[in-house]
């Protein structure tokens, strides 16, 4: 891995691309779109980005919403829909120099087609495929199977999360359907846009936290395709729920701590922080014994006010349990209360990635061996690139 490509990925993930002038698609930029047309406004995980590829080096989910890119010196003059485009660097006095050329990952062609359930042909309006799932990056079919979250109901949701926003704006279905996801995947396969799955969900009431809701989806996918599946769960109260996911066919699992230490958990994830750390540790250990080495990950957000020392503590905690820290810069997503990433600059983020990658290397963990999910996709994090640099230059 070229170290400068790793640093470039960290830079674009942290700064985002700032739109210098509003696009005027019909007048001077025939290939241009609006920010909302290419980035999802809400939903689980890092929303508000656009998928790009840099040479043959990496793919990235680059922030483009206004509130994420204020102050960014990386500038685009139109939002691309597909193909290559230039990013400019802005210097003092406003002077722009061409910086790098990226390639915009195009959306699949079938997003606006309608899905009609076979048993209800003629009595139903049909659902646009884009409301069933999305292709993240080049080849990850991703969906939120249950868009509601118990913490939103009592106002204790994580302050960086927009999972329920996409229900409010009508851009998705509140509950997904396994047969519809199979139909979406058949379409994606025809366009060579699927190699693995990421399934996520809000946290639900009950001892399984919603984990068992994945089972019919995983069984449907595994019954029709050979692609590996990743699911994301809150710590469960009985390990038998993880067994059920394993026997349904799940290959890789995310059990997300989100942030650390406890004071940060309480501040940024008030509802989820009621789950004791011990429950995470028990779930991680059991999941590693079940799904295997390199198949358990945890999102670890950076820029929520944690010090470098606290970040190191979080990485130690995860790596010591055999969990891959999926290090992601926190973004201020619209309509959430998290307003600004608190890191001083992308150089600090580079240091954090290098530290996490060194600890992974010491522990013999390899993100590139993840079979499915966010670690395999890697668009939202530079942990894979950092790991490759550290493996090459230990």
Give 72 or 198: the residue with its C-beta nearer to ligand SF4.
198
The least CB distance from residue 376 to ligand SF4, in Å, is 8
Give 133 or 220: the residue with its C-beta nearer to ligand SF4.
133
Give 140 or 181: the residue with its C-beta nearer to ligand SF4.
140
From the list 10, 47, 75, 142, which residue makes contact with ligand SF4 (rule: CB under 6 A)? 142
The least CB distance from residue 278 to ligand SF4, in Å, is 27
Does the footprint of ligand SF4 cover residue 330 (CB under 6 A)? Answer: no
From the list 9, 40, 131, 136, which residue makes contact with ligand SF4 (rule: CB under 6 A)? 136
Give 75 or 181: the residue with its C-beta nearer to ligand SF4.
181
Does the footprint of ligand SF4 cover residue 379 (CB under 6 A)? Answer: yes
Q: Which helix (H) or strand (E) holds 7?
A: helix 3-15
From the list 45, 322, 329, 332, which residue makes contact with ligand SF4 (rule: CB under 6 A)? 45
Q: Which helix (H) or strand (E) holds 187?
A: helix 178-190
Give 88 or 326: the residue with its C-beta nearer to ligand SF4.
326
Does the footprint of ligand SF4 cover residue 41 (CB under 6 A)? Answer: no
Number of H helices, E strands in the chain: 14, 17
Give 61 or 269: the residue with its C-beta nearer to ligand SF4.
61
Does the footprint of ligand SF4 cover residue 350 (CB under 6 A)? Answer: no
Q: Residue 303's closest CA among 356, 256, 258? A: 258
Does the footprint of ligand SF4 cover residue 43 (CB under 6 A)? Answer: no
DSSP codes joined into one string, 294-306? T-EEEEEEE-SS-
Give 198 or 283: the residue with its C-beta nearer to ligand SF4.
198
Provide the 10 A C-beta neighbour count for residue 174.
Answer: 12
DSSP codes joined into one string, 326-385? EEEE----TTSS------S-HHHHHHHHHHHHHHHHHHT--GGG--SSHHHH-TT--HHH
The least CB distance from residue 255 to ligand SF4, in Å, is 15
**Exposed/middle/buried for 151, CB within 10 Å: 0-12, 13-18, 19+?**
buried
Give 133 or 319: the residue with its C-beta nearer to ligand SF4.
133
With tokens 């501040």, the residue in question is 267
Q: What backbone torsions phi and psi does residue 114 show, to the nearest 5 degrees?
A: -100, 135
**Listed ranges 106-114, 120-128, 276-284, 373-381: which one lies at the site for ligand SF4 (CB under 6 A):** 373-381
**Listed ranges 136-144, 187-195, 203-211, 308-316: which one lies at the site for ligand SF4 (CB under 6 A):** 136-144
**Listed ranges 274-282, 331-339, 354-362, 375-383: which one lies at the site for ligand SF4 (CB under 6 A):** 375-383
User: From residue 193, how far is each of 94, 107, 134, 135 by CA, in Å?
Assistant: 39, 10, 10, 7
From the list 39, 198, 203, 384, which residue makes contact with ligand SF4 (rule: CB under 6 A)? 198
Strand segments, DSSP code E, in 271-320 are 296-302
The least CB distance from residue 166 to ligand SF4, in Å, is 13
**Listed ranges 81-89, 154-162, 301-309, 378-386: which one lies at the site for ligand SF4 (CB under 6 A):** 378-386
Give 136 or 352: the residue with its C-beta nearer to ligand SF4.
136
Does the footprint of ligand SF4 cover residue 61 (CB under 6 A)? Answer: yes
Q: Residue 72's closest CA among 93, 48, 49, 88? A: 88
CA gap 321, 298 in Å, rounded: 11
Does the footprint of ligand SF4 cover residue 371 (CB under 6 A)? Answer: no
CA-CA-CA-CA torsion for 67, 72, 74, 79, nearest 10 degrees? 10
Q: Which helix (H) or strand (E) holds 184?
A: helix 178-190
- Give me the residues that bind ligand SF4 (CB under 6 A), please: 45-46, 61, 136-137, 140, 142, 198, 374, 377-380
């Amino acid at each position: 891995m070229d170290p400068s490509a790793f640093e470039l990925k960290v830079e674009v993930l942290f700064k985002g691309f700032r739109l210098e002038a509003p696009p005027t698609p019909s007048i001077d930029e025939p290939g241009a779109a609006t920010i909302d047309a290419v980035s999802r406004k809400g939903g689980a995980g890092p929303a508000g980005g656009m998928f790009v590829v840099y040479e043959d080096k990496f793919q990235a989910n680059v922030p483009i919403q206004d509130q994420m890119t204020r102050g960014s010196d990386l500038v685009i003059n139109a939002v691309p829909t597909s193909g290559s485009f230039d990013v400019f660097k802005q210097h003092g006095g406003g002077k722009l120099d061409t910086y790098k050329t990226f390639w915009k990952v195009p959306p699949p062609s079938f997003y606006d087609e309608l899905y009609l359930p076979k048993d209800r042909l003629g009595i139903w309006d049909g659902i646009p495929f884009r409301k069933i799932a999305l292709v993240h990056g080049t080849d990850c079919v991703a969906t939120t199977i249950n868009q509601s979250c118990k913490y939103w109901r009592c106002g204790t949701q994580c302050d960086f999360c927009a999972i329920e926003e996409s229900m409010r704006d009508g851009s998705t279905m509140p509950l997904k359907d396994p047969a519809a996801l199979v139909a979406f995947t058949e379409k994606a396969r025809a366009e060579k846009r699927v190699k693995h799955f990421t399934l996520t969900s809000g946290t639900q009431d009950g001892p399984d936290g919603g984990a068992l809701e994945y089972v019919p989806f995983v069984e449907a996918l595994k019954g029709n395709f050979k692609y590996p599946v990743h699911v994301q769960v809150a710590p469960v109260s009985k390990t038998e729920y993880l067994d059920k996911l394993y026997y349904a066919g799940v290959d890789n699992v995310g059990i997300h701590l989100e942030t650390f230490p406890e004071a940060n958990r309480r501040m940024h994830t008030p509802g989820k922080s009621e789950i004791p750390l011990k429950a995470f540790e028990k779930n991680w250990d059991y999941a590693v014994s079940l799904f295997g080495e390199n198949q358990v990950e945890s999102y670890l957000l950076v820029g929520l006010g944690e010090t470098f020392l606290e970040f190191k503590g979080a990485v130690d905690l995860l790596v010591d349990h055999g969990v891959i820290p999926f290090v992601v810069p926190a973004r201020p997503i619209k309509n959430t209360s998290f307003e600004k990433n608190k890191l001083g600059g992308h150089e600090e983020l580079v240091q954090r990635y290098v530290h996490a990658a060194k600890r992974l290397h010491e522990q013999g963990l390899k993100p590139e061996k993840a079979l499915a999910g966010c670690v395999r996709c890697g668009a939202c994090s530079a942990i894979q690139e950092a790991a490759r640099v550290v493996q090459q230059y230990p």
